Structure 1
């Protein structure tokens, strides 16, 4: 009887349960990391208030579809780590069972294919190359045989992919690249990945996965992330001193706090603040935008 039960395939998920599972996998709390980059790109290109179909489709893709690609592949590859991680199975990420894998691997291309087709038809080759590179880096981060996640330092450095969509609006309009914001976003993404990886140190070690945090340890990882946050702020100085200072005060302070109390438990307590940091940094940028608009209207 046990043998027969073991050979019985898992029952398909009900549509409502599948939809909830896919939404959970996409981690809505982290959509700001992708949508925010797109909004910054529109702002830098001077098209934030231009309601073109291209902008709307891009921003819509940067919500559920793109994040389902990023985290869906990641969760498929991280089942061993997630099984022993206390924070998975809720808003911080799904804990996948065998019955979830096939529907998820079908849903990822199904949800993303219409957007990719639109990009092929409506976007210039430079923008297509940028988006393709971003998707490729996230795919290689999760999937073997490359799997950057299990390659210390490369796991952190490959997260520059988060910054790439900031280029797309400028590429669509044939404008110069926003080089300093691009480099700053890249540096900030590398630092944030390393900082957030500390909270999974025990789970990753238990699963035999080598990451920047398991290799360097808490103290060196905190220093690594702090260095990238300092660099990100410095790269923003030519664009906005206020934004540069906000990166140092918010993200840099998190790394310093972890250095003062270098424990995995500290990283877990600080994670909600790390999660809020893109919102806070975006609010600072929003204040500057409103100020610039007010000055433009006054003049």
Structure 2
């Protein structure tokens, strides 16, 4: 009996460690910039380098919310992920049916305490935006709505990625910078459709009609390009240099895909697309921080 207990104690931490590492992988750390970055930019747009009152929201936008986005997605996309060569790498997990219970419980355990705290402490607008944020990303993948399988709604629903630009200022009792928030919404609509080009064959074979499947590579390039132009115009209201950087990177992506409109080109461009928010976000962040330090306002 003693030997058995010691064996359990020796192996349990290792098992927990493996589970945690697996959950972190499923949460796509390379894509956390889409949530954390938006949250930090939202803080800077209020005219301060950081406000401790925003810390709980920023922490929630790390592992907890990203595990919700991608964990739910992986649970409901097992069939298509199994046939997608991109999955099982840094570009996305490929889960086993035996992992579903672990993922579902982990999503609840790391998110519910934050959501309960927010419900008790944050203003109504912040909580309404948080509920919308959660709802859109759950039902992006989950039935009965499953926006992922509805052309145009799949792309448009990703406007929710910009909601931290509403949630954070609302949590701080500050008016959101609406041109920035709306600009990021348009940007997110464009990026989602553009990134889906590389999965056209796999989605079509699985019977899923995404915006990219419906429009094809060329049509999606035009769809995304149009939304990126809208985002550029809205960003220009806040910062012309940021708008220029946005237009430059978006232009490279769209023109490259139009020159060779195939899923293979979409896949080759995916790394630049992943880098897009890092480059544009870092540029915007530096400008905002310099403005705060030198002028005292964004």
1:105-141 per-residue CA deviation (whole Å, 9 max, x = no partner) reads 1111111111112211221111011011010011111
Q: Give the 3-state SS of the residue equivalent to 1:47 in structure 2.
A: coil
CA distance in 1, matches of 2:166, 2:206: 37
SS of equivalent residue, structure 2 residue 238: coil
User: What's 1:104 paired with?
Assistant: 103
Aligned length: 284
Q: TM-score, normalised by structure 1?
A: 0.91
Counterpart Cα distance in 2 of 1:42 and 1:290: 10
In structure 1, the partner of 2:35 is 34
Residue 57 of structure 1 and its aligned partner are, at CA, apart by 1.2
CA displacement at 1:156 relative to structure 2: 0.2
TM superposition shift of 1:256: 1.4
Report the CA distance shift for 1:294/1:15 in structure 2 as closer, same or farther (over 3 A): closer
Residue of structure 1 equivalent to 2:247: 248
Indicate yes or no: 2:124 matched with 1:125. Answer: yes
Across the aligned residues of Structure 1 and Structure 2, the Cα RMSD in angstroms comes to 1.6
Sort the Cα spacing of 1:46 and 1:93 in 2 relative to 1 into closer, same or farther, 3 A. same
Deviates more, 1:181-190 or 1:208-217: 208-217
Instruction: For 1:225 and 1:179, locate their aligned partners in 2 and report how far apart those are by CA, in whole Å.
Output: 21
CA change 1:291–1:16 in 2 (3 A) is closer
**CA shift for structure 1 position 16:** 2.5
What displacement does 1:174 show?
A: 2.7
Post-superposition shift, 1:290? 4.0
- Deviations along 1:240-295, one digit per CA (max 9) or x if unpaired, are 10011111001232111111111111111110110011010012112312432453
Q: Distance in 2 between matches of 1:38 and 1:122?
A: 18
Match of 1:15 in 2: 16
- Report the equivalent of 2:256: 257
Gaps of 5+ in 2: 1-11
Aligned to 1:160: 159
Say which SS state the counterpart of residue 14 (structure 1) adopts. Answer: helix
Alignment of 1:196-211 (within 5 A): 196-211=195-210
- Any conservation in 2 of the 1:45–1:169 contact (CA below 8 Å)? no
Match of 1:236, SS state, is helix
Q: Is the 8 A contact 2:122 2:171 kept in 1?
A: yes
Normalised to the residue count of structure 2, the TM-score between the two structures is 0.92
The gaps in structure 1 that reach 5 residues or longer are 1-11
Separation of aligned partners in 2, 1:68 and 1:254:
28
